[in-house]
Chain A
């Protein structure tokens, strides 16, 4: 108990472990969350990633104490807080919509949590200065929320959430209302502050790029269930399920036949190695999930696949290729390699990397 309390007071010098045990939430006929279990290490940033309605925000609201689970427990720093109201959890939260109190200045907003805790004005003032300096908004202390841009408002919301020295920081799609440039800047800033303070953080988003850039680990969720919890690299390169493979990054779904354990012969591509998937006997017809960057193209002398269009991405080029069966295949290659094939020209596809997943083909 005392360890937990120390951890709560000593923000930024360790963080706490957070554990979700079999959390479920039902809304009449709908299952918003089904037996969600995961554990975040002290100081870790876990991103809850998934499409709308996958239960990620529900899980976050339960962590904050703003919603109660129908089943399961929440442990923060080893202490069961499942029945503790939001006001007593000492958790900082930043919301998707701008949540600053419109009647208060930036400084008053940051000091709000300290004010309701009965802290003295001098201590509040020092803490708000410290927090506003942390988010780079010292000069905006006397402005009202309507006098700030969206990005500035979210920074103030972050400073306000951190001012109370929370044991856990929760961010519910805090960047989704911002334009792309501000989003990228603030994303980096959030990561910098999180690392600086070492606070355990849960970040909800439906943006895979944001998740890959920010997370220590990503929890991919789908229909109220946890599909995979792993590092960004593992989620991208070794997805546990077809949903993860398709939701995180782009994936081609091609036809093939199992050659032996670890090799499939993919239609119009050739032999491709794979590691993940069920044990399949040679000759089994399969679906092969493969990333665009795991394929390459060379000019072909005879009719075969053809280049339909290309998108220049700066460091690479994305080609849209149609195989003789009429399937569209996305291939991401270097600019030089793309220059070697002309539009509408016949090309030969080949594998330069492993397949993500191999699944028995549907009859």
Chain B
């Protein structure tokens, strides 16, 4: 013991020295990383406000807002995004919960399957979905619904993993057993006891899926839908400053819901839950 204690003290002292020295280092790293992200955005913003002779102008934005196609494509992307989120949650919630509670040994398999869209080219997935749903009624095939179905599959690597991580963070099986022993059926169990504890995962999965829908170009273009990103590319071919302005608008549309969610949930009671949501959103954003 006598030989261990001084070593521990030295180690502890060394650790605190590192922490003291590390503070400016950490701020420097954070500043560098922040600059890496912020500078291109600021440069883009500056470019979008540049007029003739380097004058300051809102013309790129006013022209965009005055274009009917801007609003129609944005509305289409939002509709597809909301639909995709709804379909994703309808698919994910029962599947992940069932796998965790009844088939825990198949969890790895489901996780692997959810990652397939990352390794299979989106063109192949698109053709697969088109072929699979060819015989469906016209309300699906040939309408933006088919796009939402595509996005459910393509966003699965992000949505599944986010929700699955949230489920893993709670002792789901015991909570289900406890709820059932107290007389709760599945609907009440989900409503009162399970989903409130998976809020961070649900939000993370929803935000990632929605952000994916707002930014996806290839599949929408392939299926001949003029979504917001497709419109952005079309505009970019004609007017560079409007294309940059559109990119910034798309960024803002992603950030606003993120910020709102963080503000709302960090102010909720208990504090801990808010922190959990923030952590989930941070991890979602990091992904």
Contacts and interface: CB of A to CB of B under 8 A. Distances in A.
Contact of B181 (A93, A101, A102): A93
B182 A164 contact: yes
A116 B188 contact: yes
A144 B180 contact: no
Interface residues of A, number: 33
Nearest to B276: A102
B178 A88 contact: no
A92 interface: yes
A103 interface: yes
B200 to A, nearest CB: 11
B193 A86 contact: no
B193 A101 contact: yes
A95 interface: yes
Given A66-B180, A92-B181, A99 B192 contact: no
Contact of B175 (A87, A99, A161): A99
A27 to B, nearest CB: 12
Interface string A90-120: 1111010111011110000000110111000
A352 interface: no
A85 interface: yes
Contact of A102 (B177, B184, B197): B197
Given A101-B193, A103-B197, A116-B188, A164 B174 contact: no
B60 to A, nearest CB: 46
Interface string B164-198: 00000011001101111111110010001100110
A99 B180 CA distance: 12
B175 A101 contact: yes
Contact of A99 (B178, B185, B270): B178
Interface in A162-218: 164, 170
Nearest to B176: A66
A297 to B, nearest CB: 36
A88 B179 CA distance: 12
Contact of A146 (B183, B184, B272): B272
B100 interface: no
Contacts of A95: 174, 177-178
A115 B193 CA distance: 12
A62 interface: no
A315 B272 CA distance: 48
B196 A91 contact: no
A103 B181 CA distance: 18
Given A95-B174, A116-B188, A116-B192, A144 B183 contact: no
A260 B1 CA distance: 58
B192 A112 contact: yes
Contacts of A89: 181
A112 B180 contact: no
Nearest to A67: B177
A102 B119 CA distance: 37
Contacts of B177: 61, 64, 66, 86, 93, 95, 99
A288 to B, nearest CB: 45
A83 B196 CA distance: 31
A255 interface: no
Interface string B215-253: 000000000000000000000000000000000000000
Interface in B128-185: 170-171, 174-175, 177-185
Interface in A65-94: 65-66, 85-93
A82 B258 CA distance: 49
B273 interface: yes
Contacts of B183: 87-88, 90, 113, 116-117, 164
B98 to A, nearest CB: 16
Interface in B249-287: 270, 272-273
Interface in B193-211: 193, 196-197
Contacts of A160: 182
Contacts of A93: 177-178, 181
Contact of B270 (A97, A144, A170): A144
Across chains A and B, which 8 residue pairs bring their CB atoms closest together, nearest first?
A: A113-B182, A103-B196, A99-B178, A93-B181, A86-B180, A116-B184, A99-B174, A101-B193
18 contacts: A64-B177, A64-B181, A65-B181, A86-B181, A93-B177, A97-B171, A97-B174, A99-B175, A99-B178, A101-B179, A101-B196, A103-B197, A112-B182, A112-B184, A113-B182, A116-B185, A116-B192, A160-B182
